[in-house]
């Protein structure tokens, strides 16, 4: 597992998936993937990769490990409360129909949580909720909208009853009224072009392994994607320290605004 092997592995991964590890924190990613290789029967990154691509299921597991898609409904509930009591009412005063993007949506818990909030706040208004992720398999799970109890643990009990139906195997399926309000698409935040005209962008718990340069570029791209007055909401450990340099003002901790 020398440098040459690692470089070749990165090239192969990029060619196959469009995931460019140059834009991720190198030592952490190399260690993470190295752990996998060491636990396997293979001796090099490339041998491991050549084998893992042969089987659709093992490849999907590998991408899931690489991209870390852990998520849950109403993750960090106090921040979601702020969204409901302050940020969304503020945005609704400016525009009755909101264009919202959950970037790095994983299993769909984040955009469906938004869909629930929007339904409750504006029952007669349809908004746009775009949800995107790099990982095709996780998007399939998001579109299916079926969850284990643990993924709903931060959600109020009345919402669980109201917006989910119990499946025969004890899981919870999101009701169509919540589901159809979310539009999913595959999108690589470090590569693909961005849509524009968003009132609100959520990008939470996605950038943990991105390099500082990749993060700066991402936040600059979000800035362009927001409408003037629009707000970017980031994860609870992901405060943007240089937000002023990027053009944002601070709306509330972890919420950054594009000035008018």
Measured in degrees and rounded to the nearest 5, phi and psi for residue 64 equal -65, -40
Residues 24-63 that bind ligand SAM (CB under 6 A): none
# residues contacting ligand SAM (CB under 6 A):
21
Please report, as residue ranges, which positions from 87 to 146 form the binding site for ligand SAM (by CB under 6 A): 104-106, 110, 133-135, 138
Instruction: Report residue 20 CA to chain centroid gap.
Output: 17
Stretch binding ligand SAM (CB under 6 A), from 65-73, 148-156, 168-176, 246-254: 65-73
Residue 250: both structure tokens together:
């601070």
Distance CA 135, CA 200 (A): 22
Q: Which is nearer to ligand SAM, 104 or 230 (CB)?
A: 104
- Tell me if 14 contacts ligand SAM by CB under 6 A: no
Span near ligand SAM by CB under 6 A; candidates 8-16, 30-38, 47-55, 185-193: 185-193
**What is the closest distance, in whole angstroms, from the C-beta atom of residue 2 to ligand SAM in the complex?**
26
146-175 positions binding ligand SAM, by CB under 6 A: none
Q: State the nearest-atom distance from the C-beta of 163 to ligand SAM, in Å.
A: 18
Buried b (16+ CB within 10 A) or exposed e, 187-216: bebbeeebeeebbbbbbbbbbebbeeebbe
The one among 8, 68, 146, 220 contacting ligand SAM by CB under 6 A:
68
How far apart CA 74 and CA 59 sit, in angstroms, is 29
Work out whether 189 is an interface residue with ligand SAM (CB under 6 A).
Answer: yes
Instruction: Specify which residues 166 forms β-bridges with.
Output: 172
Closer residue to ligand SAM (CB): 19 or 226: 19
Binder to ligand SAM among 10, 30, 45, 67 (CB under 6 A)? Answer: 67
Q: Does 221 bind ligand SAM (CB under 6 A)?
A: no
Question: Cβ of residue 240: shortest distance to ligand SAM, in angstroms?
Answer: 16
Cα–Cα distance, 159 to 182 (Å, whole number) = 18
- State which of residues 17, 71, 99, 115 lies at the interface with ligand SAM (CB under 6 A): 71
Contacts of 161 (CB under 8 A, 6+ apart): none
Helices (H) and strands (E) in the chain, counts: 11, 10
Nearer to ligand SAM, 1 or 163 (CB): 163
- Closest to ligand SAM by CB, 105 vs 130, is 105
Q: Among residues 244, 195, 231, which one has the least CA distance to residue 93?
A: 231
Phi and psi at 97, nearest 5°, equal: -115, 115
User: In the set 17, 46, 69, 257, which binds ligand SAM (CB under 6 A)?
Assistant: 69
**How distant is the alpha carbon of residue 245 from its chain centre?**
24
Q: β-strand 226-234 against 99-103: which pairing, if any? A: unpaired
Q: Calculate ∠ Cα 251-181-193, nearest 5°.
A: 65
Residues forming the site for ligand SAM (CB under 6 A)? 67-71, 75, 104-106, 110, 133-135, 138, 188-190, 204-206, 235
């Amino acid at each position: 597992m020398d440098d040459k092997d690692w470089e070749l592995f990165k090239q192969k991964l990029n060619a196959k998936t469009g995931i460019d590890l140059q834009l991720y924190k190198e030592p952490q990613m190399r260690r993470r993937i190295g752990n996998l290789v060491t636990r396997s029967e293979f001796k090099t990154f490339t041998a491991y990769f050549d084998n893992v691509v042969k089987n659709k299921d093992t490849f999907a597991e590998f991408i899931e490990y690489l991209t870390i898609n852990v998520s849950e409904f109403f993750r960090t509930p106090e921040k979601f409360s702020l969204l409901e009591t302050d940020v969304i009412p503020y945005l609704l005063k400016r525009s009755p129909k909101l264009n919202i993007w959950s970037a790095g949506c994983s299993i769909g818990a984040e955009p469906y949580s938004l869909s629930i909030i929007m339904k409750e706040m504006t029952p007669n208004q349809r908004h746009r909720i775009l949800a995107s992720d790099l990982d095709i398999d996780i998007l399939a799970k998001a579109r299916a909208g079926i969850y284990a109890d643990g993924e709903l643990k931060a959600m109020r009990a009345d919402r669980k009853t109201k917006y989910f139906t119990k499946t025969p195997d004890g899981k919870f399926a999101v009701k169509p009224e919540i589901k159809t309000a979310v539009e999913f698409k595959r999108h690589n935040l470090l590569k693909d072009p961005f849509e524009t005209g968003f009132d609100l962008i959520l990008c939470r718990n996605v950038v943990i392994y991105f390099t500082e340069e990749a993060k700066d570029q991402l936040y600059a791209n979000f800035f362009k994607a927001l409408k003037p007055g629009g707000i970017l909401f980031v994860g609870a450990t992901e405060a943007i320290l240089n937000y002023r340099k990027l053009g944002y003002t601070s709306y509330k901790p972890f919420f950054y605004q594009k000035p008018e």
